[in-house]
Structure 1
């Protein structure tokens, strides 16, 4: 699958959040909330589609992924893939089936339990963006 995503000029100044969720109504709901909060939002139903978007060159700031996804790759594997191949991109996971203590130590991504509130997701994304900015500024200073 080849994906081409172009950002409009007014979208280039806003952080891009990639939502990976196979439940379309859940994906639409959180995507709408993030757009209302001012983020540029991309959507994928499967991890493989998310990887294609990441490889398209769009600067994705944070991936928000469900743990259970349709297809051969789940959200835990996607989080490890992002860590290994896109270290400048943050990753936040969500699940209604596992807790943070069930997440393998190889996965370095916070887990927000379902059901979640929009406010909880927005707060975690804001925290993640702040951390990414701090890391970037430290790397620029060295």
Structure 2
């Protein structure tokens, strides 16, 4: 925020300006990566998370997701689809993330496969599509809660 003096109708006025690029009280410090190849689903999840106050990055496949994780050490949670084109699917991506970045929390989703907890890395959550967006928000908040 910075102060600026302006003149209007011969009168001096002080105004506070807030840069749209610096809004720490609005954006959560929690950075989330959404990896989903279906554009409309990805956009929906990203929008829901942003409206809930999270800082969200997005990737269209596992390869892009890995590159983003390598470049952004602030990511604390990954939401991934299971069935995606590319070098690895969402299960393989989840396993890679758990191995390379153990602190990152993982949520996986699929409309075709119903997974058991044993199919996913330890601590990961699974949602069968279609899911309620409120469930995703609750899960993200639960996994990223500061103790």
SS in 1 for 2:88: coil
**In the TM superposition, what whole-angstrom CA distance separates every residue of 1:11-39 from its partner, at most 9, and x where no partner exists?**
67521111000000000011011111100
Match of 1:30 among 24, 45, 56: 45
Task: Work out the number of aligned pairs and report it.
Answer: 124
Comparing both structures, which one devotes a greater share of its residues to helix?
1
Larger Rg belongs to: 2
Q: Which ranges of structure 2 fall in alignment gaps of 5 or more residues?
A: 1-20
Q: Which ranges of structure 1 fall in alignment gaps of 5 or more residues?
A: 1-7, 135-142
In 2 relative to 1, CA 13–73 (structure 1 residues): closer, same or farther, beyond 3 Å? Answer: same
**In the TM superposition, what whole-angstrom CA distance separates every residue of 1:71-103 from its partner, at most 9, and x where no partner exists?**
120000111111110112111100111113385
Match in the other structure for 1:59: 74
**Structure ranking higher on relative contact order (CA contacts 8 Å, 6+ apart):** 1
Match of 2:87 among 37, 62, 72: 72
Runs of 4+ in 1 over 6 A off after TM superposition: none
- Asked whether the equivalents of residues 117 and 125 of structure 2 are also in contact (C-alpha less than 8 Å), the reply is no
Match in the other structure for 2:112: 97
Match in the other structure for 1:10: 23
Comparing both structures, which one devotes a greater share of its residues to strand?
2
TM-score (norm 2): 0.77
